[in-house]
Structures are given as structure tokens and as C-alpha cells.
Amino acid sequence: MKTSLESQVKTLDELIALQASMAGDQFERAVDYWSELCRAPGENQAAAIGQMQEQAAKARDWISQGATQERLIRQSGWERGATARHLMRRPDHENRHPCRSPSQP
């Protein structure tokens, strides 16, 4: 290595220029290394966030569908209840038992 440096460098200015060039190359390699090292976890984190957002959207849809179904069930139950109450107020249903004939007390 000493002979290759001696052939490239003849003055102090050339040595400083060579050192600056080598430092730049080393810095570039270090930045590439750290960039690659941080890129993979960043991609994994982005993928995980994307999956969480998908799951949250599915859960929101599932909850919304459940609430809609519950609302429909309650509405249909209230309507049936209102109809049953209305029928019970009719005079011909006042004392009628479902298992007895009209002639039985």
C-alpha cells in the first residue's frame, strides 16, 4: 500500500486531496450501510401500519353492519309489539285465551 500511495501522492496537497476523497468514499459507504439498515425496518413498519389500517376498516364495517342489523331487529320488534298491543285493545280479544275456545270460560 505504501508504494501505491507513493506513486499517487508526491506533495502534501495531493495527500490531503487523496485523504478527502477517501473520507468521502467512506462516508458514502457508511450512509449507504445505515440507509439499508434502516430501510428494512421502515418498510416492515409501513406494512404493519397498512395491515392495522385494513383491520381497523374491517372492524369498523363489521360494527356498522351489526349496529344496522340490531337497529332493524329492534324496529321490527317494536312494530310487532305495537301491533300486539293494538290487537289486545280490541274488544274481541279482551278475555280470550289462545288455548281456549270462545265458549270456554
Rounded distance between C-alpha atoms, residue 47 and residue 53, angstroms: 10
Q: For the segment 14-73, what is each residue's pLDDT rounded down to a tens digit? A: 888 888 889 989 999 999 999 888 888 889 999 999 999 999 999 999 998 888 888 888
Whether 102 contacts 96, CB under 8 Å:
yes
Range with the poorest average pLDDT among 5-9, 20-24, 76-80: 76-80
Rounded distance between C-alpha atoms, residue 15 and residue 8, angstroms: 8
Q: In this model, does residue 8 exceed pLDDT 90?
A: no
Cα–Cα separations (whole angstroms), residue 16 to 4, 21, 81: 16, 9, 94
SS3 label, residue 1: coil
At 20, phi and psi to the nearest 5? -65, -40
Quote the pTM value. Answer: 0.41
